[in-house]
Amino acid sequence: MDITDIKNKIIEKDRDEKEFVQAVDEVLTSIAPVFDKHPEYLKMNILERITEPERVIIFRVPWVKDDGEVVVNRGFRVEFNSAIGPYKGGLRFHPSVNLSVVKFLGFEQIFKNALTGLPMGGGKGGSDFDPHGKSDGEIMRFCQSFMSELYRHIGPFRDVPAGDIGVGAREIGFLYGQYKKLVNESSWVLTGKGLSYGGSLVRKEATGYGLLYFVRAMLLDHKDSLEGKTAVISGSGNVAIYAAEKAMALGVKVLAMSDSNGYIYDPKGIDLDLVKKIKEVDRKRIKEYIDVHGDAEYHEGAKGIWQIKCDIALPCATQNELDEEDAKILCQNGVKVVAEGANMPCTHKAQRVFLDNGILYGPAKAANAGGVAVSGLEMSQNSLRLSWTFEEVDERLKEIMDDIYRTCADTAIEYGAKDDLVVGSNIAGFLKVAEAMMAQGIV
């Protein structure tokens, strides 16, 4: 069988899993040139092995609302690949979570983690639970019920979950408290923990800061810089807020941000302290921004954000939030860089538009790897029983993001696809994992 037959066989098997098929299709298409140099990977059927999770756990999560109603959600953990280290990847709590979404995220995570240079395998999990509008008590009871099953599958040398959409510091705290109670061990199994119980400085900021370090490296390699540029950032969660913070610190004017209801446009530059207060402290909707800044605009519908003219577009909300039409508008408006803070935010066709128009395009598994990289550093600090300073962790994050950029750019050149970081990141991540799988035999 050649690579196309193998890809079709894999896609056919999981054809109902839309997001997973999309992710597999992208990776397998772009790594095709690898097999001319490494026919042994085809012989050992690495492709079918790497696209099949090592383990999928699906479980019931019953919990009680404040008014006494008993609710049942579905929990997932996909332990995708442990060739280079313990499974590592976030937990997502959002109504859209299903097996396809968790498998796509887990699959992407394998290659992203490999790119960081740290020994972490790929996994992902979550639930179709919606944290919006729930009381702290409800969130705690849900997290405790979720962990009452998950705890038996995870461990510091087995599987180390973190946060993702809908899972921030509050949820990690409740999850970790329940884990510790059940196993009677302080083994720091989650990352993104609070600083008072084993967390790392810079973890909260890491994905957003890392994204900007990556964009800086892309621009620098093309004799350009961030200074004086404008940016549009979708989302107003963990990734978006800290991408905006670092963008502003590096001389970029951020014009717009969004949530799932709509977007704000402030030509004077976004007031980030206000966004943090609305989203992180009050947990409210972004439209409240115009109550304070009456001269800014609020528009219903998150997608309109891509019509704003900008130099840099950073999709930091969710998968498939930027399609072909949006990509064409961004190009017409002169966008120079698009880098993905979210996972798979650009559709296949949007990606093609950017690459065909010579836009600098940073794919998620490279551009947003800063979060998991600092999670890896949190694990290192936990093992050492030490805490590093903000500056030390931030410095390592910068080095890791610069290295990821260099590795992806050099790999793209080596495989005849200069500046195509989709090819560069997929091949570089794949080669590391494939080599480890080859060394470990058929397991």
Among 127, 145, 200, 236, binds ligand NDP (CB under 6 A): 236
User: Does residue 193 have an active-site annotation?
Assistant: no
Q: How far apart are the C-alpha atoms of 180 and 372, rounded to whole Å?
A: 22
3-state SS assignment for residue 371 = helix
Among residues 367 and 434, whose Cβ is nearest to ligand NDP? Answer: 367
Interface with ligand NDP (CB under 6 A), residue from 85, 86, 89, 166: 166
Report which DSSP code applies to 440.
T
Of the pair 105, 337, the CB lying nearest ligand NDP is at 105
CB 265 within 8 A of CB 255: yes
Q: Is 70 helix (H, G, I), strand (E, B) or coil?
A: strand
**Least distance (Å) from ligand NDP to the CB of residue 290?**
16
Under the binding rule (CB under 6 A), the answer on residue 343 touching ligand NDP is yes
The residue to which tokens 């590093």 are assigned: 388
The least CB distance from residue 25 to ligand NDP, in Å, is 19
Chain residues 125-164 in contact with ligand NDP, contact rule CB under 6 A: 163-164
Rounded Cα–Cα distance for residues 217 and 422 (Å): 16
Closest distance between ligand NDP and the C-beta of residue 239, in Å? 4
Candidates 182-190, 287-295, 339-347, 415-423; binding stretch for ligand NDP (CB under 6 A)? 339-347
DSSP letters for 131-160: -TT--HHHHHHHHHHHHHHHGGG-BTTTEE
- Cα 26 to Cα 399: distance, rounded to the nearest angstrom: 27
The number of helices, as runs of H, and strands, as runs of E, in the chain is 18, 12
Query: At its nearest, how many Å lie between ligand NDP and the CB of residue 169?
Result: 10
Binding residues for ligand NDP restricted to 361-380, rule: CB under 6 A: 368, 371
By rule CB under 6 A, what count of residues binds ligand NDP?
25
The answer to the question of residue 262 lying near ligand NDP (CB under 6 A) is no
**Residue 235 binds ligand NDP (CB under 6 A):** yes
What string of DSSP letters covers 57-69?
Answer: EEEEEEEE-TTS-
Question: Which candidate in 7, 88, 103, 124 is catalytic?
Answer: 124
Residue 245 is a binding residue for ligand NDP (CB under 6 A): no
Which of the ranges 36-44, 73-81, 236-244, 392-400 carries the binding residues for ligand NDP, by CB under 6 A?
Answer: 236-244
How far, CA to CA in Å, does 293 sit from each of 240, 253, 300? Answer: 20, 17, 17
Distances (CA, A) of 275 to 149, 278, 293, 372: 36, 5, 11, 24
From its phi and psi, is residue 283 left (phi > 0), alpha (psi between -120 and 50) or beta?
Answer: left
Measured from the CB atom, the residue of 288 and 403 that comes closer to ligand NDP is 288
Q: Which of 89, 161, 237, 262 binds ligand NDP (CB under 6 A)?
A: 237
Task: Give the sign of the dihedral formed by CA 140, CA 143, CA 147, CA 149.
Answer: positive
Minimum CB–partner distance for residue 301 and ligand NDP (Å): 9
Contact region with ligand NDP (CB under 6 A), list: 6-14, 170-178, 219-227, 316-324: 316-324
Would you count residue 199 as binding ligand NDP (CB under 6 A)? Answer: no
Catalytic residue numbers? 124
Residues that bind ligand NDP in the complex, under the rule CB under 6 A: 163-166, 168, 207, 235-240, 259-261, 302, 316-318, 321, 341-343, 368, 371
